[in-house]
Chains A and B, each alone.
Chain A
Amino acid sequence: MNADCIVIQGSNMAECHPVGFQWVMEAKARGAKVFHVDPRFTRTSALADRHVPIRAGTDIVLLGALVNHVLANELDFREYVLAYTNASTIVSERFEDTEDLDGLFSGFDPGARKYDPSSWSYQGAAEEEAPGEHLEGGRRHAEAAGPHQYGSGGPPAPATPPTDPTLQHPRCVYQIVKRHFARYTPERVAELCGIPPEAFAELAEAITANSGRERTTAWVYSVGWTQHTVGAQYIRTAAILQLLLGNMGRPGGGILALRGHASIQGSTDIPTLFNLLPGYLPMPHAHLHEGLDHYLETVGSPTGFWGNRRSYMVSLLKAWWGEAATAENDFRFDHLPRLTGDHGHYTTVMGQIDGTVKGYFVVGENPAVGSSGGKAQRLGLANLDWLVVRDLTLVETATFWNDGPELETGEMRTEDIATEVFFLPAASHVEKEGTFTNTQRLLQWREKALDPPGDCRSELWFYYHLGKRIRRRLAGDEIDRPLRELTWDYPEHGEHAEPSAEAVLREINGTGPDGRALSAYTELRADGSTRCGCWIYCGVYAGEVNQAARRRPGREQTLVAPEWGWAWPANRRILYNRASADPEGRPWSERKAYVWWDAERGRWTGDDVPDFEPDKPPDYLPPEGAVAQAALSGAAPFIMQSDGKGWLFAPAGLADGPLPAHYESHESPVRNTLYGQQANPVRKVYRRPEAPYNPPESPRFPYVLTTYRLTEHHTAGGMSRSLAYLAELQPELFCEVSPQLAAELGLSNGGWATIVTTRTAVEARVLVTERIRPLRVQGRTVHQIGLPYHWGGRGLVTGDVVNDLLPLALDPNVYIQEGKATTCDLRPGRRPTGRALLDLIEEYRHG
């Protein structure tokens, strides 16, 4: 709402986050310019000032060209860049860029298809470590989704590396970034993205005119950016651009991720993710972390707020193992199981197919429809010993043995499937209490309206009572010790003996030596005297009050609304908001004042909770040998980073390079003309029959396929296809094609078409629309096809499973699949059924 320009890219905000979109419209009404960059013209485009159609999978070319535009014309916010980013830092002379290596960075191991990141370090950092150790570390770390292990900024780098404040040193970050993006020109944008130079110029002019002291530009994205083999680097490119323009940590600026599930942010903060512990502490790795001390030495830097990680970790171990966790036994650090590599979702499915994974819990998720390459999912389910599905309705994951598509093709027979399936009905959001964390890190407590019907229970009930039953039946041996010693005692209430969600939230918040609720993570101690289940949530129960339940009406508060719910960390609504003031602590401008230094009171103050130590003056300089936040100066706003700077160049933390480079999708119809390297060299692919791929630039798969969501449905459909209102509003799967392509292929609006990849074929109604426009790319026409993916075999409205079409090609940093840019063929008419469907796919694979 405070933004002067908003670029929505990789998101259809008006349709997928409609109520959040009201704030974009408020900003527009106040004069903000709104751009929508997207392959499709949607309601977001209709309400934007300008829609910029783009070929799916090429956003780094566009963003990189904007970076180049800013640097080549010296339009960066120089004072901000010098003070708050690592622009002046000097990088190791061992570093070689994609400019030198035709699309690869230094350290690439072609055999292992992995990078050794040691040459990406700051000068003086790499030389201090034995290269062998670093190589080993780099490889292991990449294997275990390592970059993600560092959470929000723990990768080690020195607090005060050598710099050149004149930005002239050829190996300073500024010069490296400038050279790196020099080839990202408007001509390349036209050639690869299909965006004409005039449209590029308009966007470039708007974002630079609306950035600086007086103005701010915001970027908004969703899974249109994350679901790529270079997804993490899409966001990195936007981060570089927004740092150069001085838009981070300021009102109306930032990069906003719109997340698609009610508590998907919460499930990352308190992770049901393999590589993380609560609060972005990494899970320990068998080969990297021998004991607690060694783990703490290797998972982050001693400087910045991650420098306190011993307090965060020890408090977590104390929350879990209570009295049994003592300083003598490393606070039961060895009770934590160890990782040895990638244990992510798709690799787990391969483990099911191979028979190593025998039991599977699926709770509130429907991978038989929602995950890419659904056949692998169903093959995995069919090879389990037992499966527990907990949901509101019988989703396809629960019934794959009865009505999965493989039964119809004859690939599976119900009688042959040995999986034992338990379906347990779940309580709905109104039948239990607890917190969701929304997309802006806001925790909001839900009151319970009534008891769940029949056998329906909350997950809280299920896991608590499962744990109780398990603990009652333990033998005396050593492998059971972590379960025996686990703190697992919550007050129960009601006829179902529902555990108290408030008691769990209070444990997450943490308690001090006196047993009282803590009020801030700065109170956590490393000596075992504090307990805290998730350090970033410390304060949500401050003063023994459920802060997430606060409901002071918005109209009675400022726009920041600090008394509605509670945002982590410390109820801050804009992260790194120290950057909203200049190095001396004054607002960059009156118009953009947000948080500033009050010299008289010797404190930071403003509209929000300052994201800084409240009494650290702007002119504070760290003494020699200082650690944690004390090692960062009073003008270092990015307090989770080891040097307190925003990283234009990331010396550590990413598996696929310290800078973003454009690579084509794993399956792309065109050649990468920027580099000899076609696709991300370290993307994760599976070399096995369950994961077939379309060859790149293949004439058999000439069209770009992108998937998306509709307003009236929710992801895999489990919460929408069985609702009469929603089913009626969007009854049927359709594919969006341009009038030109429809004419070429003889498709008629409302008729049937079949979309084919090497995975399978699905049928859909044809929607001929100018909303999806053919693009001129490398002198030829490239057609794109849009497919919503909400349907499956069950519910009031049914349809083919679109995600079955998609490849298992993953981003190497976070193991997210490439769902937004792949290739396909399109043919008129319905798809064949039974054996004939398999024959068709065989023909495409080999024909």
Chain B
Amino acid sequence: MARGGRISRWPVLRQLRGQDARGDAARSARTDALRPRTEEADTVARSVCPYCAVGCGQLVYVKDGKVTQIEGDPDSPVSRGRLCPKGSASKQLVTHPGRQTHVLYRRPHGTEWERLDLETAMDMITDRVLRTRRETWQQEEDGKVVRRTLGIASLGGATLDNEENYLMKKLYTALGAIQVENQARI
């Protein structure tokens, strides 16, 4: 940076003198004191972008229990450190204020959401799965054993992990639920 008095180091003055506003002339004592969030992170997790299927590498920086930055992973031979606008915005995906963090419940004919605790919701869902399964159980169709329920269906999986899809298919199959589908059909 140019040496001199406080006034002459003022970025606006230097830029007016014709120095490149995107280069050295943008520097000030304040900007020199700034440190990248990535440098101050407590931990860095090696991750993968959750949007399209290119599978770009991401580095997830965490400080004080919060995600402070997500950047492209330069080590990845798939992406070489690059991210697209969605991948670059994925810190917001994780931290934006519109994200729901509570279980919500809408009762039949209800006009409002209500709060429910997670344990209660899990028990209520268990009740419904067991009840619907029993009520709609089909042992045979046209004289053939089918051992299934058409009363329970599922949609989703293309944004989920392989391990999650695996448990889903395994549990649904054991329940006899066959209408299990995901975005790959669409």
Contacts and interface: CB of A to CB of B under 8 A. Distances in A.
A385 B132 contact: yes
A815 B185 contact: yes
A392 B55 contact: no
6 contacts: A272-B157, A359-B152, A361-B154, A363-B155, A414-B109, A533-B166
Contacts of B32: none
Interface stretch (B6-14, B20-28, B70-78): B70-78
B111 A414 contact: yes
Nearest to A724: B92
Contact of A557 (B56, B77, B181): B77
B136 A428 contact: no
A97 B87 CA distance: 48
Interface in A262-301: 262-274, 277-278, 283, 286-287
Contacts of B159: 261-263, 364-365, 719
Given A339-B178, A359-B152, A723-B96, A267 B158 contact: yes
A459 B100 contact: no
Interface string B139-178: 1011011111111111111111111111111110111111
A348 B172 CA distance: 15
Contact of B160 (A364, A402, A722): A364
Nearest to A713: B86
Contacts of A337: 146-149, 173, 176-178
Interface string A448-472: 1110011111111001111101100
**Interface residue range, chain B:** 35 or more
Interface in B51-100: 51-57, 60, 62, 65-67, 70, 74-80, 82-90, 92-94, 96, 98-100
A52 interface: no
Given A263-B158, A286-B146, A337-B146, A466 B126 contact: yes
B123 interface: yes
A726 interface: yes
A414 B108 CA distance: 10
B109 A437 contact: no
A361 B172 CA distance: 11
A573 to B, nearest CB: 10
Given A273-B181, A723-B89, 5 more contacts: A339-B178, A351-B179, A365-B158, A385-B132, A483-B175
A370 B155 CA distance: 12
Given A264-B158, A430-B70, A723-B92, A19 B102 contact: no
Contact of B53 (A264, A398, A504, A816): A264
A687 to B, nearest CB: 21
Contacts of B178: 274, 283, 337-339, 343
A429 B50 contact: yes
A335 interface: yes
A724 B96 contact: yes
Contacts, number: 471
Interface in A283-340: 283, 286-287, 320, 334-340
A124 interface: no
Given A266-B162, A272-B156, A470 B130 contact: yes
Given A438-B54, A712-B86, A358 B162 contact: no
A93 to B, nearest CB: 36
Interface stretch (A104-112, A235-243, A416-424, A650-658): A416-424
A259 B52 CA distance: 7
Given A419-B108, A446-B46, A459-B168, A554 B180 contact: no
Contacts of A436: 48, 50, 53, 55, 161-162
A843 interface: no
Contacts of A421: 104-106
Given A274-B179, A386-B128, A504-B163, A261 B52 contact: yes
Contact of A393 (B85, B100, B145): B100
Contacts of A348: 153, 155, 179, 181
A87 B125 CA distance: 56
B54 A334 contact: no
B162 A263 contact: yes
Interface residues of A, number: 156
B53 A261 contact: yes
B67 A450 contact: yes
Given A270-B162, A446-B48, A470 B186 contact: no
B16 interface: no
A450 B155 contact: no
B101 A438 contact: no
B75 A553 contact: yes
Given A19-B56, A362-B155, A724-B92, A459 B161 contact: yes
B72 to A, nearest CB: 8
A458 B164 contact: yes
A561 interface: yes
Main secondary structure of the interface of B (DSSP, over half): mixed
A267 B93 CA distance: 22
B145 A334 contact: yes
B182 A358 contact: no
A641 interface: no
Nearest to A275: B178
Contacts of A466: 122, 125-126, 129, 171
B176 A272 contact: no
Interface string A805-828: 000000000111100000000000
Contact of B154 (A272, A444, A486, A508): A272
A367 B158 CA distance: 13
Given A272-B169, A423-B113, A817 B186 contact: yes
A334 B147 contact: yes
A344 interface: yes
A363 B164 CA distance: 11
A423 B115 CA distance: 10
Q: Which of B89, B101, B183 has its CB near the most chain A CB atoms (within 10 A)?
A: B183
A713 B185 CA distance: 20
Contact of B129 (A270, A428, A470): A470
A370 B102 CA distance: 24
A390 B160 CA distance: 11
Contacts of B154: 272, 360-363
Contacts of A457: 118
Given A459-B160, A722-B96, A726-B89, A258 B182 contact: no
A465 B164 CA distance: 12
Q: Which of A261, A504, A564, A729 has its CB near the most chain B CB atoms (within 10 A)?
A: A261
A418 B109 contact: yes
A267 B77 contact: no
B102 A425 contact: yes
A419 B186 CA distance: 25
A501 interface: yes
A483 B175 CA distance: 7
A268 B55 contact: no
A467 B126 CA distance: 9
Interface string A5-43: 000000000001111101000000000000000000000
Contacts of A439: 52-55
A470 B103 contact: no
A345 interface: yes
Given A287-B144, A450-B62, A711-B86, A564 B162 contact: no
A273 B184 contact: yes
A455 B134 CA distance: 29
Contacts of A499: 167
Contacts of A447: 45-47
Contacts of B136: 356, 358
B69 to A, nearest CB: 11
A19 B178 CA distance: 37
A434 interface: yes
Given A365-B158, A423-B113, A270 B100 contact: no
Contacts of A287: 142, 144
B55 A262 contact: yes
A422 B110 CA distance: 12
B124 interface: yes
A1 to B, nearest CB: 11
